[in-house]
Amino acid sequence: MPKKRAGSAKHAEPSVTLSLRGANRLQARHPWVYRSDITEANDIPPGSVVRVHDPRGKFLGTALYSSSSQIAIRMISHGSVNDLPGLIAERIRAAIAYRKELVANTDAYRIVFSEADFLPGLIVDRYNDVVSLQILTQAMDAVPVREAIVRTLREELHPAGIVERVEARIRELEQLPALPSGLLWGEKSSSEFRMNGIGFHYDGREGQKTGAFLDQRENYAAAAQYAHGEALDAFCYQGRFALHMAEKCSSVTGVDSSRPALEMAEKNATLNGRELEWMEANAFDLLREYAAAGRHYDTVVLDPPAFAKTKRDLEKALRGYKELNLRAMKMLRPGGILVTCSCSFHVSAADFLKVVADAAQDAHKSLRVLENRGAAKDHPMLLNVPETSYLQCLILNVSD
């Protein structure tokens, strides 16, 4: 248990002292410290800006405090912070500038990616003239911080609307009051955007995450380079792999268990003057049936939801990936293309390579790696923070 210090004038400012392990973590440039590594804390209100010290009392920097999360503090600066809303505005401007160099051929991309943009607890995506954001921590939920976020996004991006997408479970975990999703500013919550020359609808009131899986943007274009013949996009959501591959393939079928996702996929196809087939089905069952019935494809995309939400799920998740990949490999004609993804951050790049290799062994196939990819550059990975690397996308040439 952290010792509580009396609120003397000296310690009026919220501050914490870390165990050696906690201090070493920060020194290694990881921004999180767990509650068990806090050895001393004065009375700290939820969401406070706290000064952080090592066991000898040396000042290490400033962090944002959560009273409920196991991740008790997330570093925001290696120095002192006197004006958090001002610092957040500055970081948002820096994140926007960072993407100016990196993002091309799209008007939809991630603007702020939490820790990876030194803004822990904030996610902002842009869909053309609509900005969609998620607030994930107590500190980011404070009214002056929210105001600074909205003001900066308005000044820098001039959107027609800013929508907040609420993850109810996360607000609960952070012990924040329930809040509906909705417009934070402006009038517009839906739009159309273009990526890699293809048009898509965006509806900020619907869908999963902030609306689209923008982290796959560069992988769509990469997959389209190799796609050919008859293609199957399993776990297709709103059809983005499918639509990217359509130009190169004789037919494309998209499969998802979510009807609203498929309705949007159909609208997206119409927007691009394409006719694709959409199937509402459990992709695991469908692949099992197709593999057993000897159905063949030339290109298969596997982009399932995260199987490993926690470390404990890892074994089960790996079995799930193996099974799916095995079935897809069996269905591919010689020279076929397998685009296989994992977005579980508990599944490391090495784990994923191994599981796909094991599936190849069982399917009696040889795999040549065409591309070994991760998330698009607007979802940067912080090298010292493995949690920021979660998306794997392998593009493989499959032969007998």
Report the catalytic residues. 343
Q: Which is nearer to ligand SAH, 32 or 237 (CB)?
A: 237
User: Which residue among 115, 256, 351, 378 contacts ligand SAH (CB under 6 A)?
Assistant: 256
Q: Does 283 bind ligand SAH (CB under 6 A)?
A: yes
Q: Which residues in 93-152 contact ligand SAH (CB under 6 A)?
A: none
Q: Do 30 and 45 touch, CB atoms closer than 8 A?
A: no
284 near ligand SAH, rule: CB under 6 A: yes
In whole angstroms, the minimum distance from the beta carbon of 197 to ligand SAH comes to: 16
DSSP-derived pairing of the beta strands 249-256 and 229-234: parallel
Single-letter code of the amino acid located at 158: H
Q: Can you list the pairs that 311-314 forms with residues at least 24 positions away whose Cβ atoms lie under 8 Å?
A: 311/346, 313/344, 313/346, 314/346, 314/347, 314/351
Q: Which of 115, 125, 164, 303 binds ligand SAH (CB under 6 A)?
A: 303
Q: Give the residue, chosen from 51, 240, 365, 373, that forms a contact with ligand SAH under the rule CB under 6 A.
A: 240
Distances (CA, A) of 282 to 11, 153, 198, 259: 57, 39, 27, 11
Residue 173 tokens, joined: 């975990």
Residue 76 CA to residue 383 CA, distance in Å, equals 17
In the complex with ligand SAH, the residue whose CB is nearer, 65 or 220, is: 220
Part of the chain binding ligand SAH (CB under 6 A), chosen from 103-111, 234-242, 325-333, 373-381:
234-242
**DSSP codes joined into one string, 196-218:** TTEEEEEETTSSSTTSS-GGGHH
Q: Structure tokens of 355?
A: 């599981």
Q: Toward ligand SAH, which CB reaches closer, 98 or 284?
A: 284
Q: How far apart are CA 294 and CA 332, in angstroms?
A: 10
Q: Do the beta carbons of residue 365 and residue 399 sit within 8 Å?
A: yes
Q: How far is the CB of 122 from ligand SAH (least distance, A)?
A: 22
Q: Among residues 174 and 233, whose Cβ is nearest to ligand SAH?
A: 233
339 scored as a contact of ligand SAH (CB under 6 A): no
Candidates 47-55, 185-193, 281-289, 331-339; binding stretch for ligand SAH (CB under 6 A): 281-289
Pick the piece of the chain touching ligand SAH (CB under 6 A) from 23-31, 56-64, 264-272, 303-311: 303-311
Q: Assess 191 for contact with ligand SAH (CB under 6 A).
A: no
Q: How far is CA 311 from CA 235, 287, 345, 352, in A?
A: 23, 27, 9, 14
Please name the helix (run of DSSP H) or strand (run of DSSP E) that holds residue 52, with its range, or none: strand 49-53
Interface segment toward ligand SAH; rule CB under 6 A; list 45-53, 263-271, 276-284, 289-297: 276-284
- CA nearest neighbour of 259 among 287, 286, 280: 280
From 153, 236, 245, 265, residue interacting with ligand SAH (rule: CB under 6 A):
236
345 binds ligand SAH (CB under 6 A): no
Cβ count within 10 A of residue 42: 20
CA–CA dist 245, 54 (Å, integer)? 53
Q: Which is nearer to ligand SAH, 184 or 222 (CB)?
A: 222
If the CB atoms of residues 216 and 299 are measured against ligand SAH, the closer one turns out to be 216
Q: Candidates 92-100, 252-260, 345-353, 372-380 — which segment interacts with ligand SAH by CB under 6 A?
A: 252-260
Q: Which of 86, 144, 197, 305 binds ligand SAH (CB under 6 A)?
A: 305
**Closer by beta carbon to ligand SAH, 31 or else 207:** 207
Query: What DSSP string describes 72-121?
Result: EEEEEESS--S-HHHHHHHHHHHHHHHHHHH--SBSEEEEEEGGGGT-TT
282 near ligand SAH (CB under 6 A): yes
Q: 216, 253, 325, 392: which one contacts ligand SAH (CB under 6 A)?
A: 216
Helix/strand/coil for 272: coil
Give the Cα separation of 174 and 271 in Å (integer): 40
Cβ proximity of 337 and 398 under 8 Å: yes
Task: Tell which one of 257, 272, 348, 397 touches ligand SAH (CB under 6 A).
Answer: 257
Query: Rule CB under 6 A: is residue 373 a binding residue for ligand SAH?
Result: no
Q: What is the contact surface with ligand SAH in residues (CB under 6 A)?
A: 213, 216, 235-238, 240-241, 255-258, 261, 282-284, 303-305
